[in-house]
Structure 1
Amino acid sequence: MTTSAIKSQKTLVSTDLGKDQIKLKHIIKSLPKECFQKNSRKAWTTIILSLSMAALGYYFLAISPWFLLPIAWIFTGTALTGFFVIGHDCGHRSFANRRWVNDLVGHIFMMPLIYPFHSWRIGHNHHHKHTNKLEEDNAWHPIRPEVFASWGKNRQSAFEFFMRKRLWWIGSIGHWAVVHFDARKFKPKDQASVKLSVAVVLIFAAVVFPTLIITTGVWGFIKYWFIPWMVYHFWMSTFTIVHHTAADVPFSPADKWNAALAQLSGTIHCDYPRWIEILCHDINVHVPHHISTAIPSYNLRLAYDSIKQNWQPYLHDECQFSWQLMKDITDNCQLYYTGVGYKTFDEYYAGK
Structure 2
Amino acid sequence: MNNENEIVEDLKNWKELIKPYATPEVKLARKEVWKTVLPFVLLFIAAAIIYEFTFWGAIGVCFLAGLFLTRVFIIQHDCGHQSFFPDRTKNDRTGFIMSLMTCIPYKYWARSHNHHHAHQGQLDTRTIGDVTLLTVREYNELSTWGKLKYRIYRSLPVMFVLGPIYYIFIHNRFPFIKFNGWDKERKALTRTNLYLLLFFAVLGLLLGLPHLDIWYGFKKLTVLYVPILMTFAFTAIWFFYMQHQHDPNYKAWKQDWQFVLAAIKGSSYYKLPKIFNFFTGNIGYHHIHHLAPKVPFYKLEKCSKENPIFQKYVTTITLLSSMKYAFYTLWDEENYKMITFRQLKKIPVKA
State TM-score, norm by structure 2.
0.82
* 1:124 Cα deviation from its structure 2 partner: 0.9
Q: Which residue of 2 aligns with 1:269?
A: 269
Distance in 2, Cα, partners of 1:219 & 1:155: 40
Q: Do the aligned partners of residues 151 and 103 (structure 1) sit closer, same or farther apart at CA in structure 2, a change above 3 Å counting?
A: farther
> Which has the higher relative contact order, 1 or 2, with Cα contacts under 8 A spaced 6 or more apart?
1
The answer as to 2:75 corresponding to 1:77 is no
Q: Which residue of 2 aligns with 1:27?
A: 14
Q: Which residue of 2 aligns with 1:89?
A: 78
Distance in 2, Cα, partners of 1:20 & 1:92: 26
Distance in 2, Cα, partners of 1:210 & 1:272: 38
Kept after mapping to 2: 8 A contact 1:87/1:106:
yes
SS in 1 for 2:204: helix
**Greater Cα offset, 167-176 or 243-252:** 167-176
How do 1:127-142 residues align onto structure 2 when only pairs under 5 Å count?
127-137=116-126, 138-142=129-133
Alignment RMSD (CA, Å)? 2.9
Q: Which residue of 2 aligns with 1:181?
A: 174
Structure 1, unpaired ranges of 5+:
1-16
Q: Which residue of 2 aligns with 1:59?
A: 45
SS in 2 for 1:31: helix
How do 1:1-352 residues align onto structure 2 when only pairs under 5 Å count?
18-19=5-6, 21-22=8-9, 26-31=13-18, 33=20, 35-62=21-48, 63=50, 65-137=54-126, 138-149=129-140, 156-170=147-161, 171=163, 173-174=165-166, 177-178=170-171, 181-182=174-175, 185-188=178-181, 190-209=182-201, 212=204, 214-216=214-216, 219-308=219-308, 310-316=309-315, 318-322=316-320, 325-326=322-323, 328-331=324-327, 333-340=328-335, 341-348=337-344, 351=348
Distance in 2, Cα, partners of 1:265 & 1:183: 30
* 1:67 Cα deviation from its structure 2 partner: 3.6
Kept after mapping to 2: 8 A contact 1:285/1:304:
yes
Distance in 2, Cα, partners of 1:75 & 1:346: 36
Q: Do the aligned partners of residues 60 and 211 (structure 1) sit closer, same or farther apart at CA in structure 2, a change above 3 Å counting?
A: closer
**Greater Cα offset, 215-224 or 231-240:** 215-224
Q: Do the aligned partners of residues 151 and 111 (structure 1) sit closer, same or farther apart at CA in structure 2, a change above 3 Å counting?
A: farther
Q: Do the aligned partners of residues 305 and 282 (structure 1) sit closer, same or farther apart at CA in structure 2, a change above 3 Å counting?
A: same
* 1:334 Cα deviation from its structure 2 partner: 1.8
Partner amino acid, structure 2, of 1:79:
F
Distance in 2, Cα, partners of 1:347 & 1:298: 39
State TM-score, norm by structure 1.
0.82
Q: Do the aligned partners of residues 135 and 78 (structure 1) sit closer, same or farther apart at CA in structure 2, a change above 3 Å counting?
A: farther
Partner amino acid, structure 2, of 1:136:
T
Kept after mapping to 2: 8 A contact 1:140/1:240:
no
SS in 2 for 1:254: coil
Deviations 1:293-314 (A, max 9, x none): 1111111111112332x24432
Structure 2, unpaired ranges of 5+:
206-213
* 1:260 Cα deviation from its structure 2 partner: 0.5
Q: Do the aligned partners of residues 239 and 268 (structure 1) sit closer, same or farther apart at CA in structure 2, a change above 3 Å counting?
A: same
Partner amino acid, structure 2, of 1:89:
D
Distance in 1, Cα, partners of 2:289 & 2:297: 8
* 1:52 Cα deviation from its structure 2 partner: 1.5
Partner amino acid, structure 2, of 1:276:
F
Q: Do the aligned partners of residues 297 and 311 (structure 1) sit closer, same or farther apart at CA in structure 2, a change above 3 Å counting?
A: closer
Number of aligned residue pairs: 329
Deviations 1:225-277 (A, max 9, x none): 11111111101211111111113213222222221111012211113343332
Larger helix fraction of residues: 1
Kept after mapping to 2: 8 A contact 1:286/1:300:
no
Kept after mapping to 2: 8 A contact 1:111/1:204:
yes
Q: Which residue of 1 aligns with 2:211?
A: none
